[in-house]
Structure formats: structure tokens, C-alpha cells
Structure 1
Amino acid sequence: MQKSVRIGCHSAFWGDSVEAARQLVEHGGHLDYLVSDYLAEITMCILARSKKKARGGAGDGGFVQEFVDYVWRPLMKPLLDRNIKVITNAGGMNPKALKEAIEKATADAGLPVPKIAAVVERLADLRGENALKTFQVGGEEEKLWDESKLVMSANAYIGAFPIAQALEDGAQVVVTGRCVDSAIVLGPLIHEYGWKEEQYDLLSSGSLAGHIIECGCQATGGNFTDWRESLKGGWDNVGFPIVECAADGSFIVTKPEKTGGIVTVATVCEQLLYEIGDPAAYILPDVTCDWSNVIVEQQVPSSGGAGRVSVRGAKGRSPTDTYKVSITSVDGFRMNATLMIGGESAAEKAEAVGRAILNRASNILKRRKMPPFTHTSVEALGSEHTYGPHSAARQSREVSCRWYKSRDHCSASPVILFSSCLVPREKVEITIYNGDSKRNFEEKKRQQTSGCNCCGPQCTCQACKNKKLPSPTYVTLKGDQMVQVPLLRLCYARSGDKGDLCNVGVIARSPNIYPFLLSFLTQERVTSHFQHLVQGKITRYPLPGISALNFVMTRALGGDDRT
């Protein structure tokens, strides 16, 4: 039988279920690896603040202590006894400190301390770099980084090869900081199968396996369009995902038996679309992925069992010569308040009250010769505020008026600005601390492969021409043959966001519906529908392999990158 590597993911974010790791270890069958993703951009800022505070007191701070308390301490014995290797990015801003905490917890329990590796990335001093430009993935604007801002964290998204190197050097546990989420799965696969730097299709496939399970139970029906279907077995015991990966890059998605949720083509496809831009040019540190023609098929139904879905067909080409760097900085302060308002025309009244309070406060600032608010917002919660002109709840008799305001200086909570930039790879130093040893990780130069990194719907390069879809063919219906139905009757959907960028993936429930979606869900129609929310550009990308469309929206979450 063909060998497969079984990897389970127990955490999608800092604060995910503390019982998920136990579920996978005790009920997930034989696992080769237990992996976890704890980090988001704002998480790095929080961990940076905890590390700074720790310098003036006890401990080192800067890492996710919950990993030690809720995963390693209660499960270290079965993990060690069964030789389940552990990969986690819970190291955050201080992977070495987490490495030492794991070693201490193991020694305190009277168990032999395994070889534990910490992968640490360090950015060169980038101040004064004229080439340092911030950007939004999929965005149309670039601007120079403002060096006057108070930086809370700055981290390069490193790839999977340092993780593979640590495993090759004998590590049982590998702790990283801000690597890309999918690297915690790709790293073990590189190690197990000996995949090389220029085997781009394999690297893309392993990255896709990591992408599918990086969000934990989102791939097993945790946040699913047909959520009532995933109630089977109970959400309170939802199964966390497992991938069984083969040497050729194909893999199976499943979950532990007798757990809640479901594993179906739809749940896997929804997660595939999560937080990606152009599916034909999804850029990662190790590979530029093309997932536009991936094939996802149901192998074993989910009803009455764990469910098994096969995934294959990912393609790849060479990565870029830069790393993405995420920077969080303080950008003023925010105040917000909420007030319940009832009665007839409650929504209209709430908006009038909110505007009056903001105007009153603005006039006070002006009279005192103080700077004005930089951003303001009034929302009538309960009136379908985000639906704008499409709201069907304007006549609600009970709403909450929420308003917020931010400015450069006031007594309120800080506003965190999230920015991304690209830096040359030589500006990032990667060190692996493995047991008592230390080594600098040296990246190999990649041979650039042909292919286009834009691949938008209007692109005319030869690579994109070769991938052009045939004209959609479908039966043209007359007016009296048409019936209006909600879009969710025809499709599944999944959205995601990073900074001020949002994506919405729409998947046809049947391949027969896909030609209709191509003709109906046009870029122009979606832009018109969301024009009250999206201040930037909306671009449509096709995924014919799974009969889906991905819409990427810039300046979509308030028009800036503040959190």
C-alpha cells in the first residue's frame, strides 16, 4: 500500500478549543504529526506587548503559554510514547522561550526531554530603505512606509524548509514564529518524502493540504453554509481535521470517528477558498500556487462516519525573491459606545442620535482647538446595517446604535494599523536552535519557472491565454420559465479577510450550475451590489476545478487597515 503521512490540526487561532488536541491524540487513530496554528496579524501585536512587559518582570513572554498548559503538559506522555511529532507556531514573538518552557515542563514531569527545535526569523534594520513600500494583496495602491509610526511588531512570513531542516536534524517538537500557516504541514511532508525546492507541484499540493486544515474545524463543517447538515454528531464535539498525504501530493481530508461536523466536498471547497486572492497565483514563500483546477471528490460519505474527501491537481511554479513582512503599529486611539433604542422608526432614530453625538463631540474639539476625529462611524445594529440599500429590516422596532470615533490622541483604546510590505530574502535571517545546537538556515537559490504572477481575468500573457475557459454553454430560458431563488440555493460560499482586504468565494452546488454563475455573477454585478461597503476594486477569479468563483475586494473593511 502507498505510504501516507497523517497530520491533525488542533488549533486555528489563539483561543481555539483546549480539548481539540486531546481529541486528535486519543480518537484520531495513529497520527504522525500534531500541528497547530495560533497566530494572526493582531496576535503578533499582542504577543509583542506581552514580551515587552515581561522584560520588566518575571518570565520571557511573547509566546502562547496556553500551548504549554493545555496541550503539552496534559498530552506529553502519549505524544512521546507514540512518537507523534509536534509542529506549532505558538512561539509567536519568542520561539526560543517557548522551546525552553516545553523543555522545563517535560523535565518537571520526570520524563526524558526530547529534542526540541525553535525556528527564529530576524529582520535586518529596514529603516531608511527607500524600497520599503506597503501594499494590500490584490490592491491597486502602494505607498512608502511611514517610519514615524510606533511599530508594535514586524515579522517575515517564512516558509516550510526550515521546519523540514529541524526535523531532519532529529527534532521531536518544532516551534516557530510567524511562518505562513500552511508551512506547519508542508514542512513535515518535505521531511518525510524528500521533496526538493524546485518540485513546485508537490510543494503546492502540500501547501494546499496545510491550507485546508489550518483553520481547524472550518474544514469539517464548523462554519458551513449548510450548517444544519454539520450539526450531525453535535457541534459541541465537532471533529478537528486530519489529512492523509501521499508522496505524489494527493491527500485525503477526514476527521476522528464519532465526532460532530461533517467532511464533504463542500466543506473542503469552502476552506480552499478562505483568504486567498488569485487562485492561479497564490504566493507563498516556497512556491507560487495554482489551485484553479484542483479536483475535490467525495470518497466516503460523512453520514454515520468521519467522511473522506480526496484532493489532487494542485500546480506550482517558482516563488518570488521576496518575503512578505507584516507590520503592526499604533495609529491613534478609538472610543466607542452602544445605546439601545426602541419604538417606531428605531433605525432612523438611532442613526440620527449617533450623528448628533458625533457632531456635538466634533464641535467641542473644534472650540478647544484640538485635532478633529480621523474616522467616525454610526451603525444601527438590528437594521441590517451592512446590507445598506439591500436591507429588509429598516422597520425594526428595536436596534442598538453603535458609534465609534478615532483620532491621534485621546483617552481610549489604541488603534492598531496593519500593513504589509515586501523585503528581499537576504534581509531575513533564519536560525534554528535544535536541542543544544544552533545553525543558520541557508536558503537555496531557485530557478525561475515560466508563468505569470498576475493571471487576472483581463491578463493577455500566453500563460493566461492557455488557461482561458471555454465560453459557457447553458440553456437560455424564457421569462416565464425563470424563477427567482436565493443564491444560496445554488451555491455554497465562504469569506475571509486580511487587513482591509476581503474575499468571497462562491461554489456551485453542481457543475451544471457553473456556466450560469459565470454569466450571472459578473464582476460588474457584484461590484454594484457591494458598492455601499467596498471603496476599492473587486476582481473575479475562476476556479473551474471546483466550479467556483473567488471575488477579491480591496478597501472593503472600512476603507483602511485599522483594527
Structure 2
Amino acid sequence: MGGLSERAVRIGSGAGYSGDRIDPAVDLARRGELDYLVFECLGERTTASAQLARQADPDAGFDPLLEARMRAVLPWCAGKTRVITNMGAANPDAAAERVAAIAAELGNPELRVACVTGDDVLHLVSAEDAVSANAYLGADPVVAALRAGADVVITGRVADAALFLAPMRYEFGWAADDWDLLAAGTVVGHLLECAGQLTGGYFADPVSDPVPELARLGFPLAVVRADGSAELTKLPDTGGRLDRLTVTAQLLYEVDDPARYLTPDVTVDLTGVRVEEIAPDVVRLRGARGAAAPRELKALIGRRAGFLGEGEISYRGPGARARARLAGEVVLARLDGVHGLVLHEPRVDLIGCADDPAAEPPEVRLRVAARTASESDAALIGWEVETLYTNGPAGGGGARRSVRPVLELDPVFLPRAEVAGAVRMVGEPG
């Protein structure tokens, strides 16, 4: 690893979103000599969708890849690497019980699994149409779970960077108000939280920003010391790149004000962060500064917002653009004149058309989509697209239709005193 200090904590990023690849995480668990492997799998809408799944089935509501990931990495982590993840989503209790059962099936019944709850604050909001309300917890309850001896920590909505900050606080004994150290750790977590984005995945462009061996993209890891200094790297013999450009791009990702990056644990000033390449695929970080954490915690309220109906069909050959455009007009006319639908945010897209209106594309894909109040109304959109098969224009084929519920999210801010994380060890009373 190019002279990286041995007196450090090694933290690997196992996922950057719910549907992420599994094999790079296995590679980190197998070869990374990690102290911690962190799976960050919750997006803004993921928890709200998971709450709907839990309402339909009380035993559901956690990440659909939880079992596959745990079966893949736990054999490599046993006895050496602790796992932290927010794959509990809307049901961390059920997720933790499932992980404990998987560990027993794999021959490790002594594995200690903790679940972190308290982010579900639906009882605190008054919106009648709300299906979910989840606050962004900080590192505190994850630290408590590690202190209780957890080998695996399953959380719900914990802030992305806090999942990575927690093991630093636990290992180094950082105080909950040592703002500069918390800022340094949060910067590391912010960089690791999206996994392959840091090693060039979201950065890659074959012309301006080539990234080698994208098909074998390796996920990043950090080597962190007690003073907050850190190096970021990836495993040798993996694809991707990790350098000043990829790190800087990720540093500014989803950041509104770089001088006041608000997290549940600390307010981070990113403006002084320096990124130094010290070896191939090894970057050193320094210069983060911190101030007191916000007095309130952000929460997202998920509301039902109707249904999205979609239909697609392709037209090929001479006049494909004109036929696809006419088809879209026909669908909208029937949705209005025959069905009398009220459409919200309707779209008619001609996919495959060049900007030049004189250029005749060989094939055009028509997409008609809109949001409606009811599922049955949304289904009519795709149905009307499909009926173009025999009702014209000529030459339509490859129709596809779908309907799915729409959730909209609204942020609110809650006093910290109203939100409390809790920890339960599987097999022990809550």
C-alpha cells in the first residue's frame, strides 16, 4: 500500500447505493485487510419506498440485496472486519434478525448483530397523506452499537458520512464536540459513501476523462489515523482511477455550500481541504475544519403523489420521426377526448432524434408518460400506446407499458431533543 501507516484504521466502501455491485465489496473483504466494511445503500427515496413495502408486509422493508451481500462478505469478515450498513432501511429490526440467521447458517452463530432505530419520526409529523418520515441520525447510536460489541451494525436512515465517521470515533475516542476531528472524519465518509464514484465510475468519459478497466472497477478504502489525517486508495489489480480529479469531483458532490456542509454530527468547512497525490491511486487529505453541528435534524417526509403511467413504441424506416410524432399526438388526443383524463406533467419524448430537424433518424422510440391520480388512469396511458400497433401510424413495434406509484419528498427540520437513536442487540430485549 505504498508506505501507509500501520497505526491506522482501514475502512472500505462496500456499496454506494441499494442496487450496487457486490463483487467489489467481496474483493475488499477478502484482500483489503479492513477493520470495517461499510455499505451505504439509502437514497432519498429509498426509505419511503421501503416503508410502503413494510406496510404491505411487516417482515419486509429492508434492502432487497441484504441477504446476498451478507452471504457474500460475512465469511471473509469473520473475526477481522466489522460491518456497518444502513440496509435496514424501513425495518432495521427485521434486517438485523435476518443477518443473525444468515450468520448462523454460515456457521457463525456467535456473530453479534445490532440494529439502530429511532430515525422513524412519522409520529411527529401531522401530514395526513404521509407514508414515511425519517430523520437523518448521526454517528452516536452507531458508536454505541460498536461499544456494545456489535460485529455487524444495521441501521435505518443514518446520514451517509456518519456510517463511516462512527468507527473513527469509536476507535480513536474522538469527542462528540471535537469539531475539527469530526469534520476530518466526515470528509472521509463523504468521499467513500458513493463507492465506485470515487474511483472514477461517475467521473468516466472516454474522451475527456478516461478511466481504465471500468468493467473491473474497484471500490475505495481509507486509511485513517487518530489525528484525522487520511489516505484514500483502492486495491491493486482493480480497475478505475483514484487521483486528485476524481477525489475533488466527489468532494463537491451533493454539496450546496462548501463552507457550511451541514451534517448531523458537525458543520464542515470544505474550502480548506487539500488533496495531494502521494503515489499512484493514493491520495492524502488535509485541511478540513469543523464547527458545531446544526441544532436541528433534517427529516424527509414521503407522500403519495399518484401514479406514473408510461408507454413506449418504436418506429423505423423513412419518416420514422414524423410517424412517431403523429403517434404521440394520437395518444394525447385519445387520453383527453375518449378517456377524459387529467394528466399531470405529461411528456411526449422522441428518443433517438438528432438536434438537426433535417437529419432523418433510422429509428425513433416514442415515450408517452404522465402522472395521474389513480392507478387505473395511469394504466390507460400505456394501453393507448400499445393500441397503436394496429391503429396507426404504420410500422410501430416493440411496445412496452408500465405503471408505478409516485412518492414525493418534502424536507422538514426537527429539534434534536425530539429524535433519539436506540440500539438493540439481536437476542437481547429491546
Taking structure 2 as the reference length, what is the TM-score of the superposition? 0.85
* CA shift for structure 1 position 241: 0.6
**Cα gap change, 1:438 to 1:249, in 2 (>3 Å):** farther
Q: Please, which of 192, 211, 222 is the counterpart of residue 243 of structure 1?
A: 222
Q: CA deviation digits over 1:389-432, x for unaligned, max 9?
A: xx457734232221212221241332221222112222223211
Once the 2 structures are TM-superposed, how far is the Cα of residue 362 of structure 1 from its aligned partner? 1.8
Q: Could you tell me which amino acid in structure 2 is paired with residue 318 of structure 1?
A: A
Helix, strand or coil at the partner of 1:182: helix
Residue 93 (structure 1) shift: 0.9
Pairs within 5 Å for 1:366-377: 366=340, 372-377=342-347
Does 1:87 find its partner at 2:107? no
Match of 1:35 in 2: 38
Structure 1 gaps, min length 5? 129-146, 302-306, 385-390, 440-563
Deviation at 1:158, TM superposition (A): 0.6
- What letter is aligned with 2:65? E
Is the aligned partner of 1:335 residue 2:305? no
Helix, strand or coil at the partner of 2:160: coil
Secondary structure in 1 matching 2:342: coil
* Residue 376 of structure 1, CA deviation: 0.8
Q: Tell me which moved more, 334-343 or 285-294.
A: 334-343
Three-state SS of the structure 1 residue aligned to 2:167 is helix
Alignment of 1:172-187 (within 5 A): 172-187=151-166
- Residues 154, 227 of structure 1: alpha-carbon distance in 2 compared, 3 angstrom cutoff: farther
Q: Does 1:360 align with 2:334?
A: yes
The alpha carbon displacement at 1:126 in A equals: 2.6
Helix, strand or coil at the partner of 1:41:
coil
**CA gap 1:392/1:248 in 2 versus in 1, 3 angstroms:** farther
Mapped partners of 1:410, 1:394: distance in 2: 39
Residues 1:291 and 2:270 aligned together: yes
Match of 1:75 in 2: 73
Deviation for aligned residue 1:31: 0.8
Q: Does 1:161 align with 2:140?
A: yes
What root-mean-square deviation, in Å, do the aligned CA atoms of Structure 1 and Structure 2 show?
Answer: 2.3
Counterparts of 1:381-460 in structure 2 under 5 Å?
381-383=351-353, 391=355, 395-397=359-361, 398-411=363-376, 412=379, 413-437=404-428
Q: What amino acid does structure 2 have at the position aligned with 1:7? A: I
C-alpha distance in 2 between matches for 1:279 and 1:345: 50
Q: Secondary structure at the residue paired with 1:221?
A: coil
SS in structure 2 at match of 1:125: helix
Q: Determine if contact 2:122/2:134 at 8 Å carries over to the other structure.
A: no
Cα distance change, pair 19–225 in 1 and its aligned pair in 2 (3 A): closer
Q: Output the CA distance in 2 between the equivalents of 1:259 and 1:330.
A: 42
Q: Deviations over 1:218-262 (max 9, x none)?
A: 111112244466543x22221111111122222111111101111
Match of 1:222, SS? coil
Count of matched residue pairs: 397
Q: 1:393 to 1:40 in 2, by over 3 A?
A: farther
Q: How far apart in 1 are the matches of 2:116 and 2:180?
A: 25
- Contact 2:122–2:132 (Cα < 8 Å) also in 1: no
The one-letter code of the counterpart of 2:38 is V
Superposed CA deviations along residues 275-331 of structure 1, whole A, max 9, x for unmatched, are 221111221111111112311111112xxxxx1011211122112221111122211
Match of 1:152, SS?
A: strand
Matched with 1:66 is 65
- Tell me, in whole angstroms, the C-alpha distance in 2 between the residues paired with 1:347 and 1:280: 48
3-state secondary structure, aligned to 1:268:
helix
- The one-letter code of the counterpart of 1:383 is C
Residue 339 and residue 226 in structure 1: after superposition, are their counterparts in 2 closer, same or farther (change >3 A)?
closer
Q: 1:417 to 1:259 in 2, by over 3 A?
A: same
1:156 counterpart letter in structure 2:
A
Q: Please give the secondary structure, in 2, of the residue aligned with 1:76.
A: helix
Distance 1:112-1:360 versus aligned 2 partners, 3 A rule: closer
1:393, 1:260 → 2: CA distance?
40
CA contact (8 A) 1:230 1:260 kept: no
- The residue that corresponds to 1:277 in the other structure is 256
TM-superposition CA deviations, 1:3-47 (whole Å, max 9, x none): 32111111111121121221101222x111011011112222332
**SS of equivalent to 2:15:** coil
Contact preservation (8 Å) 1:35, 1:87: yes
Moved more, 104-113 or 311-320: 104-113
- Structure 1 residue identity aligned to 2:87: A
Change (3 A) 1:213 1:394: farther
Q: Which deviates more, 38-47 or 83-92?
A: 38-47
**Is the 8 Å Cα contact of residues 340 and 400 (structure 1) preserved in structure 2?**
yes
Counterpart-to-counterpart distance in 1, 2:158 and 2:335: 43
- In structure 2, the partner of 1:545 is none
CA contact (8 A) 2:345 2:370 kept: yes
User: In the alignment, which of 288, 299, 303 is matched to residue 314 of structure 1?
Assistant: 288
Change in Cα spacing, 1:116 to 1:20, as seen in structure 2 (3 Å) is same
Deviation per residue, 1:58-111 (Å, 9 max, x gap): xx222125223x232343233123x21111111111111122112222223332
Find the aligned partners of 1:416 and 1:269 in 2 and give their Cα distance.
Answer: 32
Change (3 A) 1:392 1:278: farther
- Distance in 2 (CA, whole Å) between partners of 1:345 and 1:211 is 50
Distance change in 2, residues 1:101/1:403 (3 Å): same
Distance 1:163 1:115 in 2: 14
**Percent identical residues:** 34
2:100 to 96, 100, 103: 103
Structure 2 CA distance for partners of 1:226 and 1:422, relative to 1, 3 Å: same
The SS at the match of 2:9 is strand
Q: 1:394 to 1:320 in 2, by over 3 A?
A: farther
Among residues 108, 113, 118, which one is paired with 2:115 in the alignment?
118
Deviation at 1:435, TM superposition (A): 4.8
SS at match of 1:10: strand
Q: 1:65 to 1:364 in 2, by over 3 A?
A: closer
Output the CA distance in 2 between the equivalents of 1:394 and 1:6. 57
String of CA shifts for 1:163-204, please: whole Å, max 9, x gaps.
112112222211110111111100111111111122212212
Tell me the distance in 1 between the aligned counterparts of 2:317 and 2:84.
55
1:280 and 1:100 mapped to 2: Cα distance? 41
The one-letter code matched in structure 1 to 2:333 is N
Task: Measure, in 1, the Cα distance between the counterparts of 2:122 and 2:309.
Answer: 36
Does 2:29 correspond to 1:25?
yes
Question: In 2, distance between residues paired with 1:392 and 1:189?
Answer: 55
